[in-house]
Amino acid sequence: MKIAIWGLELTAWATAGILAQSGNDVFIVNDTSITDPVILMGSSIRNEPGLKDLIADQFTKQRLQFINSDSAALLSIHILSMNPAAFENATIVVDDIAKLNSKKLLIINQSHFGVGCTDKLQTLLDHDNDQVVAYLAENISEGEALNNLRHPKSITFGCTNEWASMMIRALLRPFSAHLEQLLVMTPKEAEFAKLSITGMLALRIGYINELANLAEQLNVDIDVIKQSMGADPRIGHHYLNPGCGFGGNTFSQTIKGLANLLAEKRQSHLLDMVLQENEKQKEQPFRKLWQHYECDIHNLNITIWGASFKPGSAALDSAPSLRIISALIAQQAHVHIHDPEALENIEKLYGDHPQVHTYRDKYEALNNADALLLLTEWPEYWSPDFEMMHSRMQAPLIIDGRNVFNKALLESLNFIYYGIGR
Amino acid sequence: MSVTETAAWKALEDHAAMMQNTHLRDLFLADSSDKKRFDELSLSHEHLLLDFSKQRITQNTLTLLKALADNCQLNDWKARLFNGDHINTSEDRPALHTALRQPEDSHLALANHNIIGDVHANLAHMASMVERIHAGQWRGYSGLPIDTIVNIGVGGSDLGPLMACKALSDAQPPEGHQLKMHFVSSMDGSQIADLLDRLVPTTTLFIISSKSFTTIDTLSNANTARQWLKSASGVKTELLNRRHFIGISASAEKMNQWGIPENSQLNFWDWTGGRYSMWSAIGLPIALRIGMQGFKAMLSGAHAMDEHFKTAPFEENLPVRLGMIGIWNINFLNIHAHAILPYDGRLSHLPAYLEQLEMESNGKSVSRQGEAIGYSTCPILWGEIGPNAQHAFYQLLHQGSESVMCDFIAPARRYDDFNNKGLQQQHQLSLANCLAQSRLLALGDAAIAGNDTAPIHKRYRGNQPSTTVLLDELNPYSFGQLIALYEHKVFVQSVIWDINPFDQWGVELGKKMATDLLKPLENEPSYSSFDSSTEGLLNAILNKQEPGQ
């Protein structure tokens, strides 16, 4: 099938890549003069594992091409993977497509414009003559985008037109091997369901973090509590890891959207509170450091392992590290940062700041450190050479924002250890 | 020679004898198309317009008042004020609140030392604190950012910041808006007790403001706050001092003794009087509320008024005119009550502020030469937001037996940025009331056609003089101008009365007496004996405090 992809978000590139790989002719709408897809992607999308190579490969095979918007509007199948704030732009796109076509049209919206936005776009087209805007809930997380798209366990889409539903099922067929559930509903319901899932995840994280902070004060190990909770089949183990808060643009923006909707329509501040507490939670490692050093950390050397908002991504969007670095700078500490992927972004942000230093070697970042703050659980941090760490650090203080290390082991190695909730 | 014996004074007495029988109504009747009282008697400077046409004066009155001012060497005294002469004679020091608002590139030497440098160094320290708090990087003992400020101070360390924070509430930047701000002054602990119930210890910062840092009211509140933090946190006092207290005082030594670390101290100087101190570090709560830029705009407004006061001739000088007309009313028309009536709810604390400024400065009856003086000085001031006072004490203004002079204060523009027609209409309503009241007070029955035939209990005598102070709008700059206007007005009157407006010996003895009375109340042996009233009350209190009573 010939498909036009509108938008330059991560979802757009990943969707384009896998659809091309499964034999479609995919056209990414590009009105700029940039001809190299890798440049157009931008650095944070480029770092998505496997994506850059897939896109380059599909471009070579010419199953993936650029197209300008005027030509794209003439095609019959479109996917909108646009920025959540670009709804107005989306209406212009759909309007243009409507003006140029009297044939059957399928426009699949997978952008987070909000509940009811797909229906608004539909009003620009003739639904009864099979000109349809459907909603497909994207279900990808940064760092695992391709995997998520290739092997979905469940798919939810919103569409009430028979022909369009058939077309969507056909498009998704190559990715249905492990599919356990395919749910079809109205676009508005599908949009709402997507928001609800994201909100639920945020609530779980918020809740386990609250419990972790309480466990600390009651001298209880949250690990034990969390295992017991997860063992209950009504609850399960997912999204029950306490830590120093969640970041990431898509996730945070979606929750913010739902929080605003709840506040506006229901005067409910449940999710607002979750977001506020999450911002506080991001500084939890800083507070442990602060209390350990009795509210005076000026001139101390503080090492940070992991700056990106999650492992597998170079992005710093709303990352806990940013708040912590600001706090450390404000208290006149020196910050020594290691991250396997995000160092370039850190350097862009802090430039030549005299208090911020970056290291390509994680042990080198520990020289003379007065504390190590682990903020992102990159795989390479799970089993480091603890003896080497101990010998390099000025004070063997570890604040583990992701509960990566074994507390008993570290204490037996003469580290002072603080986790989240234990 | 007393001022009352001068020719200038006597000329004013003669003039007053004539004016006593002249009604404001008749003065306005003399208006003609090319000669109107408003045009002749109102003055403006930058954002302020002062209308004196509802005062019981003529051009002749102003001429005679100028002669009196010249006779009292007002211009010399102004120069001495600004130069830093030791015009606070009883305490042998200058009164240099004007130096606190001088621009950074200006110069003023005290004992060969440029104090403007000190002033701006202190402002920079203050700015760094404001910036840190606004950025959410002033951390409490737990590491959470401070989001609540409690100002502990009394008198000048309370009234100025409290009034300004309220007055400039529309000028808050978002960072200032996020901070919760409270003021605690009362000695009995009732304000702080109420607050501590609601505040979160981890995120609350206390500003302790006291010029001497010995004020018992303030220190007892501060100790209560520290005790509260200590029991909530369980951390060392030294740590709480470092993260939850800022000290503002002229005595670094006393702040050290209390435990405030040096970099949490802001200083001001003994040449700043308490009631003239909101331009100094004492203004920190204002800067936290409206931002450093707003605070500096307030200083600029006040400085503009300083320059105007210093350089404008008698005929155009706002503070001089305001002060001299006060003299005329008090000493020649024998009016001894002065109402402050702001027609803007944001100025609700202005009456209390001016009560201190005027009555603590000029409520005196001994001359600079140490002699008892035989004429009236500061009248009794009181006030309230005008529209509210209309439902309270305006009855007395309109139909009582006392003559009262009034200051009506209002901004011409308000709610420009609010997209709310209702609020804009409320502002017009407030202005209409302001104009109606001053008109009725001045003209009496003549203000309303036909009222002169009403029954006597519905009649209005009129002839109550007033000044209307009209601000273009209430913002940090015009607010600075307004307060400096009153400061200089007070100074002008002190010159004519030949008194020192910068000391306050009348508040000292009571503090000492209270110390004596604390002993018997705490069942300690006391060797003082008191009058029978005090003894009787002491015994009654002690009896009632006995357990089982």
The answer to whether B476 and B416 have CB atoms below 8 angstroms apart is: no
Whether B7-83+312-497 and B97-289 share one fold: the answer is: yes
Query: Of residues A143 and A88, which shows the higher confidence score?
Result: A88
Q: Are B478 and B318 spatial neighbours (Cβ–Cβ below 8 Å)? A: no
**Three-state DSSP string of B125-137:** HHHHHHHHHHCCC
What domains can be seen in chain A, in order of their start residue? 2-184 (3.40.50.720), 194-280 (1.10.1040.10), 283-418 (3.40.50.720)
Q: Count CB neighbours of B278 within 10 A.
A: 30
Give the Cα separation of B23 and B447 in Å (integer).
13
Res A27: pLDDT: 97
Let me know: does B485 contact B49? Beta carbons within 8 Å.
Answer: no
CB A79 within 8 A of CB A48: no
Q: Tell me the pLDDT of chain B averaged across its residues.
A: 95
Q: What is the pLDDT of residues B243-281, one digit of tens each?
A: 999 999 999 999 999 999 999 999 999 999 999 999 999
Beta pairing class for A77-80 and A64-67:
unpaired
Spatial separation of the C-alpha atoms in residues B334 and A257, rounded to whole Å = 68
Number of neighbours of residue B26 by Cβ within 10 angstroms: 12
Contact assignment for B143 to A280 by CB distance below 8 Å: no
Q: Indicate yes or no: CB of A287 within 8 angstroms of CB of B135.
A: no
Give the pLDDT band (50/70/90) at residue A316.
Answer: very high
Residue A68 has pLDDT above 90, yes or no: yes
- Spatial contact of B298 and B137, defined as CB atoms under 8 Å apart: no
Q: What is the maximum alpha-carbon separation in chain B?
A: 80
What residue in B sits closest to A289 (Cα-Cα)? B143
Nearest to B239 among A287, A295, A330 (CB): A295
| Residue A36 one-letter amino acid | D
Task: List pLDDT tens digits, range B338-357.
Answer: 999 999 999 999 999 999 99
- Please state, in angstroms and rounded to a whole number, the distance separating the CA atoms of residues B209 and B213: 7
Q: Residue ranges of the domains in chain B?
A: 7-83+312-497, 97-289, 506-545
Q: What is the pTM of this model?
A: 0.87
Shortest distance between the Cα of B134 and any Cα of chain A, in A, equals 12
Query: In the structure encoding, which two tokens stand for residue B91, read together?
Result: 């305490």
Q: Could you give the ipTM of this predicted complex?
A: 0.84
| Predicted pLDDT of residue B102 | 97
Check CB contact of B139 with chain A, cutoff 8 Å: yes
> In the numeric block, which tokens belong to residue A175?
């990715």
pLDDT, position B177 = 79
Reported in sequence order, the residue ranges of B213-292 that DSSP labels E, i.e. its strands, are 245-249, 265-267
List residues bridging with B182 in a β-sheet: B150
Exposure string for A230-267, b = 16+ CB within 10 A, e = fewer: beeeeeeeeebbbbbbbbbbbbbbbbebbbebbeeeee
Beta-strand (E) ranges in A44-163? 64-67, 77-80, 105-109, 131-136, 154-158
Question: What gap in Å lies between CA B480 and CA B248, rounded to an integer?
Answer: 21
Tell me the C-alpha to C-alpha distance, in Å, between residue A97 and each of A70, A73, A120, A132, A164.
9, 5, 15, 11, 16
Q: Are A368 and A394 in contact (CB under 8 A)?
A: yes
What chain A residue is nearest to B141 in terms of C-alpha separation? A295
pLDDT digits (tens, 9 = 90+) for B102-134: 999 999 999 899 999 999 999 999 999 999 999
Q: What is the per-residue pLDDT for B46? A: 96
Residue that the structure tokens 């924002």 belong to: A401
Quick one: A408 exposed, middle or buried, by C-beta within 10 A (0-12, 13-18, 19+)?
exposed
Average pLDDT, chain A: 94
Q: Decide if A218 touches B, using CB distance below 8 A.
A: no
- Range A370-395 average pLDDT: 97
Nearest chain A Cα distance for residue B417, angstroms: 24
Which pLDDT belongs to residue A48? 85
Is A239 annotated to bind a ligand? Reply is yes
B132 touches chain A (CB under 8 A): yes
Asked whether the beta carbons of residue A327 and residue B141 sit closer than 8 angstroms, the reply is no
Cβ neighbours, 10 Å, residue B159: 24
Answer whether residue B549 shows pLDDT above 70: no
The more confident residue out of B417 and A377 is A377
Q: How far is B283 from chain A (nearest CA, A)?
A: 24
pLDDT tens across B144-158, in order?
999 999 999 999 999
Neighbours of B316 (CB within 10 A): 13
For residue A178, pLDDT over 90 is answered with no
CA distance A216 to B93: 58
Q: How many CB atoms lie within 10 A of CB B23?
A: 16
B265-267/A2-6 β-pairing: unpaired
Task: Kindly compute the dihedral angle of the four CA atoms of residues B405, B346, B362, B299, in this order, to the nearest 10 degrees.
Answer: -130
At residue A233, the 3 state secondary structure works out as coil
Q: Which of B35, B113, B391, B544 is catalytic?
A: B391
pLDDT beyond 80 at A250? no
**Looking up tokens 């200089």, which residue turns up?**
B488
B200 touching A (Cβ < 8 Å): no
3-state secondary structure of B447: helix
Asked if B360 is an active-site residue, the reply is yes
Q: In what order do the strands lie in the sheet with B204-209?
A: B180-184, B148-152, B204-209, B245-249, B265-267
Q: A327 and chain B: CB distance < 8 Å anywhere?
A: yes
Query: Is it the case that residue B480 has pLDDT exceeding 90?
Result: yes
Percent of chain A with pLDDT over 90: 84
Say which residues have a Cβ less than 8 Å from residue B97's Cβ, sequence separation at least 6: B272, B273, B276, B277, B279, B280, B487
Give dist(CA B381, CA B355) in Å, integer.
6
Q: Is the pLDDT of residue A43 over 80?
A: no
Q: What is the pLDDT of residue B31?
A: 86
What's the CATH fold of domain B7-83+312-497? Rossmann fold (3.40.50)
Give the pLDDT band (50/70/90) at residue A248: confident
Mean pLDDT of A271-297: 96
B25 in reach of chain A (CB within 8 A)? no
Q: Rounded to an integer, what distance in angstroms lies between the CA atom of residue A30 and that of residue A46?
A: 17
Which residues, other chains included, contact A30 with Cβ-Cβ below 8 Å and sequence gap of 6+? A40, A66, A67, A68
User: What is the reported pLDDT for B33?
Assistant: 83
Size of interface A-B (CB pairs under 8 A): 33
Least confident piece of the model among A140-149, A304-313, B235-244 = A140-149
Q: What is the mean pLDDT of residues B198-225?
A: 95
Is the pLDDT score of A400 beyond 70? yes
What residues does A4 pair with on adjacent strands? A27, A78
Give the up-direction half-sphere exposure of residue A141: CA atoms within 13 A in the CB hemisphere: 11
* List B360, B364, B384, B427, catalytic entry: B360
Q: What is the pLDDT of residue A384?
A: 97
Exposure of A143 in the CB half-sphere (CA atoms within 13 A): 15
User: Is A359 one of the annotated binding-site residues?
Assistant: no
Determine if residue A318 is left, alpha or beta; phi over 0 gives left, psi from -120 to 50 gives alpha, anything else beta: left
* Contact indicator for B125, B262 with CB cutoff of 8 Å: no
Question: A326 and chain B: CB distance < 8 Å anywhere?
Answer: yes
**Most A-contacting residue of B129, B139, B178, B233 (CB-CB within 10 A), to test interface:** B139
Task: Assess whether pLDDT exceeds 80 at residue B527.
Answer: no
Asked whether the predicted pLDDT for residue B443 surpasses 80, the reply is yes
d(CA B147, CA B175): 10
Residue A379 known to bind ligand: no
- Tokens 């997978």 belong to which residue? A110
Q: For residue B287, what pLDDT band results from cuts at 50, 70 and 90?
A: very high
**Is B548's pLDDT higher than 90?**
no
At A42, the amino acid letter reads G
Rounded Cα distance, B78 and B93, in Å: 16
What superfamily in CATH does domain B97-289 come from?
A: Glucose-6-phosphate isomerase like protein; domain 1 (3.40.50.10490)
DSSP, res A310? S
Structure tokens that stand for B117 in this block? 């440098």
